[in-house]
Amino acid sequence: MHHPGKSLTKRLAWRLSVLQTLTLVATIAALTWSLINARASYIDDAVSKTILRSLVVEGGTLRLDDDRDMAMLLTKSPGLWFVAADEQGRHLQYGHIPAAYASFVAALPSLEASEIHSSEPPYVMTMRLAVDERDGDRVHVMVGGVPLSGPAVLVARIAFYLGWRIGLPLVLLTLIAVPWIIHRAMAGVGRVARQAGEIDIADRGARLEDGAVPRELQPLVRAFNTALARLAEGYDARDRFLTDAAHELRAPIAILEARLEALPPGDSRTRLLTDLARLANIAEQLLDLQRLGRQPDTLSVLDLVALAREVSSDVAPLVLDAGYELAMDAPDHPVKIVGDRLSLSRALTNLIQNAIVHAGGKGLIHVEVHDDGVLQVSDQGPGIPREERARVFTPFYRLQPSSVGTGLGLHLVQEIVARHGGDIRVTDAPGGGARFRIRLPSA
């Protein structure tokens, strides 16, 4: 079962985002540590913002609007003082201003945002100056005398300032840019994956393109190519062994056949000759498989009708001796296909021999050729169960272990058809039995 793995793009993007967030937190902590003084006091930024929001111009003067937040601030901070001035000369003063700041009042419209932190209780010298833009004018407010916040206020202000101005855009950029960058960098991986999916074991020299993937993945591709090379060597060694074994079997089989022929006729001699023929057939089919894998493609235009008639004539004595009838139906005109005459003749012969072995020793073996390049061989035997039809093409697989078949004939047929770019299927024949249907490319 295929289990999809975790996305490298998502994992990397989220890990970079977490790393950037941690880096930002560390930066905020370091910046706060460098700026903060444990003895210093701070006026909350919300105080100056509340005052600025409540200021209105009416009758050419500044005044405090009936603002709920401002009313709460005045109630909670009886010692509050502030001075507000705009650059049009309007001025508003509230509370008792410390003498040290009295000289700032006249120059207030020319002062920018700033803070003064007193270091000793009761922190009466702590002051904050804020500026607000409104309707083309700038309003300046100097405030003090309110309950003070400790160092935590500075931490919150720095975190807020850096968080949404730097941290948030950086994380969003990472979540968008990193997947795109990884997708571009990993484009070659998809091409190599397609190459791997198209590898045919018959193509022993097939290799993946290691230069198409990033350097970090090249060792994996090279290891895969090395595994392919070892696999090809193993298949070559297996092919050589099977070929040599089949060749070596030929001599003792021929000698044994000559000695059996010299025996007096009888049931034992007949059974031994039958078993020997089966052994010889296995050796020949092994050689056919090896030759099929090694011989170059010698495809040419040929007449499927003529080929089927030739093979049917050759095997007719075997069919009749086994107790069957043989029939062939084909068009009166040639059916041109592209193929190799010898291997296709072997395939059709194997199908007819398979029917002889498995059809029960009676009935009709029917060979058909159709105009669209379809070749069919049907029998009237017990047929092949639907669940077994895909397995009958497996080497050395037999429906009945006691069968005299070799288990290689149908596998050889499938290999021959595949090399011709065709396909083979097993269906039920009309009236019972098995039907093998081969479709070959037309010329």
Q: How many residues are listed for the chain in this entry?
A: 443
Find out whether 128 and 77 touch, Cβ atoms under 8 Å: no
Strand partners, 425: 437
- Exposure string of 349-386, with b = 16+ CB inside 10 Å and e = fewer, is bbbbbbbbbbbeeebbbbbbbbeebebbbbbbbebbee
CA distance 363 to 380: 6
3 state DSSP class of 401: coil
User: Among the listed ranges 14-18, 332-336, 372-376, which one has the minimum average pLDDT value?
Assistant: 14-18
Find out whether 267 and 275 touch, Cβ atoms under 8 Å: no
| Residue 390 one-letter amino acid | A
What backbone torsions phi and psi does residue 415 show, to the nearest 5 degrees? -65, -40
End-to-end, the C-alpha distance of the chain in Å comes to 41
- What pLDDT is recorded for position 309? 93
What whole-number percentage of the chain has pLDDT above 90? Answer: 17
Q: What are the domain boundaries of the chain?
A: 8-37+156-185, 45-149, 201-295, 296-439
Q: Sign (positive/negative) of CA torsion 312, 318, 321, 324?
A: negative
Strand partners, 437: 376, 425
3 state DSSP class of 100: helix
| Residue 103 one-letter amino acid | S
Q: Give the residue with greater pLDDT, 376 vs 27.
A: 376
Q: Is the pLDDT of residue 297 over 60?
A: no
State both tokens at 197.
């999916």
CATH says 296-439 is which class? alpha beta
CA distance 133 to 260: 117
Q: Is the pLDDT of residue 399 over 60?
A: yes
Give the closest residue to 55 by CA, choosing from 22, 89, 92, 25. 92
What backbone torsions phi and psi does residue 126 show, to the nearest 5 degrees? -70, 130
User: Domain 201-295 belongs to what topology?
Assistant: Helix Hairpins (1.10.287)
Q: Omega of the bond prior to 122 within 30 degrees of 0, cis?
A: yes
**364 falls in which pLDDT band (50, 70, 90)?**
very high
3 state DSSP class of 258: helix
3 state DSSP class of 325: strand
pLDDT tens digits for range 138-175: 999 999 988 666 566 667 776 777 776 777 777 777 77
The pTM assigned to this predicted structure is 0.46
